[in-house]
Amino acid sequence: MPDPQLSDLQLALLRVLWDRGEATAAEVHEALREVDRALAPTTVATLLSRLEKRGLVLHALRGRAYVYRAAVAEHEVRRSMLAKVTDFFFAGDPAALVSHLLGGREVSPEELAAIHRLIEARPRESGEDDGG
């Protein structure tokens, strides 16, 4: 998978494509205008072209318009970007990342219960004895 370290604006463009499945540059521009992004249509087209060169976006020609779609799934981008953050800020230690996240803001009992369920549901490492 290409390196998906992205700026906020690049992520915003990809989110439009993830949400819609596919869109022209004009449709992406319009969607970004709805969330208060003052961008020129040519800027959106340039950014989409750059994302395509990086392998993150693909296009097809429909009539005279390019129709873009994401070439990577949102969860793949999220995983890769979070791995980079974990490596850079927490020396690759996921426990330090989680500790930081839990200490950085108020966490409701419901959120803590959901976190506990995720930890419990995590598959055991293949080398562990599960008692069976």
Q: Which two tokens stand for residue 46?
A: 């340039």
Give the integer Cα–Cα distance in Å for 132 and 115.
Answer: 26
Edge-to-edge strand order for the sheet containing 23-24?
23-24, 65-70, 57-62
Q: Which helix (H) or strand (E) holds 84?
A: helix 74-90
Q: Which two tokens stand for residue 55?
A: 């392998």
Q: For 56-87, how does the pLDDT look when each residue is reduced to its tens digit (9 = 90+)?
A: 999 999 999 999 999 999 999 999 889 999 99
Give the integer Cα–Cα distance in Å for 116 and 105.
Answer: 17
Q: Which two tokens stand for residue 5?
A: 């370290």
Yes or no: is domain 8-70 CATH 1.10.10.10?
yes
Q: Which two tokens stand for residue 63?
A: 């009539």
Q: For 1-35, how does the pLDDT look when each residue is reduced to its tens digit (9 = 90+)?
A: 556 678 889 999 999 999 999 999 999 999 998 87
Q: For 96-117, how does the pLDDT look when each residue is reduced to its tens digit (9 = 90+)?
A: 998 898 887 888 999 989 988 9
Give the integer Cα–Cα distance in Å for 49 and 106.
Answer: 41
| Residues carrying CATH 1.10.10.10, the chain | 8-70
Give the integer Cα–Cα distance in Å for 68 and 60.
Answer: 7
